[in-house]
Amino acid sequence: MDALILSRLQFAVATYFHFLFVPLTLGLSILIAIMETIFVRTGDEEYRRMAKFWGKIFLINFAMGVVTGITLEFQFGTNWSRYSSYVGDIFGSLLAIEATVAFFLESTFIAVWALSWNRLSPKAHAVTIWLVAAASSLSAVWILIANAWMQHPVGYTIRNGRAELTDFFAVVTQSFAIHQIIHTLSAAYILSAFFVMGVSAYHLLKKQHTSFFGRSFRLALVMGLVFSIVEVVQGHMHGAEVARVQPTKLAAMESLWDTTAHAPQYLFLVPDEKNERNFIELGAIPGALSMLAYHDSSATVRGLKDFPRDERPPVTLSFISFRIMVGLGFLFLALMTVGWFLRNRLEEHPWYLKTMLYAIPLPYIAAQAGWTLAEVGRQPWVVYGVMKTSDAVSPIAVSQALVSLLAFVGVYSLLGAAALYLIIMHVRRGPESGQPA
C-alpha cells in the first residue's frame, strides 16, 4: 500500500465513524424539542421526562460527534495538504462558517439546555432546545454545501495555480447542494425515528413504562413516515441531478458500460470469470434507468465506455451501495406505513415491535451506503472534474500514514465501545424513577 491508499482508508474510517453519531444528534434534537413543546402547551409532566430521557442519549451522541468531527477536519492538514492548498479558499471558508456560526451556537445552547432544567422557565428551556435543533441542522447544511461543491464545483476560477472563490451565492444555492441537504437530513431524521421506535419497542415488549414509550414511539413514527416519503420522492429527483452533473457516477452505480437509449436498470450483479468485467448484470427493468435519469423511458444514457478509463469510478461498490440504500429506503417506507395503521394498538402486535427493535441498525447501514456511493462514485476525483484524489494527498511517508491509520482505528474502537456501553446502559435503565407506568 502507498500513502494515498492509507490516507483514503483513514479518511473513510473517520467519516464512517463520525456519521454514526451525527444523524441521531440531528433527529433527536428535533424530537426532544417537540416533546418539550408539548409539555409547555399541555403541562403533561411525562413529556418533560421523555425529553430528559432521550436528551441523555442526545448528549452522548453530541459529545462523540464533536470528538470525531474535530479529528476528521484535522486530516485536511495532515493527510490532504495539497487539497487544502489548492481549494482552501473555497472549502475552508465553508467549514469556517460552520464552525464559527452554527457549531458555536449549537454548543453554547446545548450547555444552556443541559444545565438549566430547574433554572429557566419551561418556555425558555424549550426555546433553547429548538435553537440547538436549528443550529445542528444549520451545521449540517454548511458541511453538506462544502461536500456538494466537491461533487459539483461552481462559482470559482483557477488563478495562480489555485482554485479561488468568485461567486459565493452560486456555491451555497446550487441545486446539487439543495438536493444533497434534503436527502441527507431526511436520512438523519429517519434514522432517529427508527432509533426511538426501536428502543421504545424494547420496553413495550417488556411491558415497561408503556405510556411513556408508547408516546415516544408514536412521535417518532410520525417523523419517520413523513421523511420516508420525502426520501423516496426526493431520491428520484436527486438521481436526475446526479445524471446531469455526474454522468460517470450514474453509469457506475447502474453498471452501464455502453451508451444506450431506453436504458434498463439492473437489479443484480453475478460474478462471471469469462466476462471481461468479471460480472454480469441480471434482472433488467427496460427503460427504468432512462426514466430515473431523464424522466423519459426512451432517453439515451451515456455508458462508462464513453469516458476515459482513468476517470471511471469503481463499479461494483457503487452498484451495490446504491441498491442497498434504495432497497432499505423503500423498506423504511413500508415499515412506517404498517406502523401508522398499528399505532394505537402496538402492544397487540409484538411481531411489529420485534421487527422495529431489530431494525435499529438498518438506517445506519443505509446512511453509510449512501455516503459510500457519494464518495466512491466521485472517484478518481476529489473535486469532480477539477482535482484528482491522487493529486490531493500530502507528501508523507507510508509509515506515517500507516501509524496514524492504526491509531485512528484503535482510538475510535475504544470510543465506540464506550459510547455503545453508555447508551445501552441508559436504555436498559429506562426513564427516571417515579415515571408513570
pLDDT in tens, 380-437: 999 999 999 999 999 989 999 899 999 989 999 999 999 999 999 999 998 876 544 3
| Pair type for strands 381-383 and 387-388 | antiparallel
pLDDT of 282 strictly over 80 = no
**In the chain, % of residues over pLDDT 70:** 97
Task: Measure the CA–CA gap between 432 and 49, rounded to whole angstroms.
Answer: 8
Q: How confident is the model at residue 364 (pLDDT cuts 50, 70, 90)?
A: very high
**Residue 248, C-alpha cell as written in the block:** 460517470
Instruction: Output the pTM of the full model.
Output: 0.93
pLDDT in tens, 209-267: 899 999 999 999 999 999 999 999 998 888 889 999 999 999 999 888 889 899 888 88
Residue 392: left if φ>0, alpha if ψ -120 to 50, beta else—which one? alpha
Q: How confident is the model at residue 294 (pLDDT cuts 50, 70, 90)?
A: confident
Q: What is the 3-state secondary structure (H, E, C) of 353-413?
A: HHHHHHCCHHHHHHHHHHHHHHHHCCCCEEECCCEEHHHCCCCCCHHHHHHHHHHHHHHHH
Domain boundaries, the chain: 3-259+302-429
Q: What angle do CA 325, 142, 17 make, to 5 degrees?
A: 50
Task: Measure the CA–CA gap between 198 and 195, rounded to whole angstroms.
Answer: 5
Q: What is the pLDDT of residue 283?
A: 77
Q: What is the pLDDT of residue 2?
A: 86
Instruction: Find the DSSP H helices in 79-174.
Output: 81-97, 104-115, 122-151, 168-173
More confident residue, 281 or 334: 334
pLDDT in tens, 181-210: 999 999 999 999 999 999 999 999 999 889
Q: What is the pLDDT of residue 435?
A: 42
DSSP state of 304: G
- From residue 333, give the alpha-carbon distance in Å to each of 127, 324, 356: 31, 14, 13
Q: How confident is the model at residue 274 (pLDDT cuts 50, 70, 90)?
A: low
Following CA atoms 281, 284, 289, 295 in sequence, which dihedral angle do they give, to the nearest 10 degrees? 180
Strand partners, 261: 300
Q: What is the pLDDT of residue 258?
A: 87
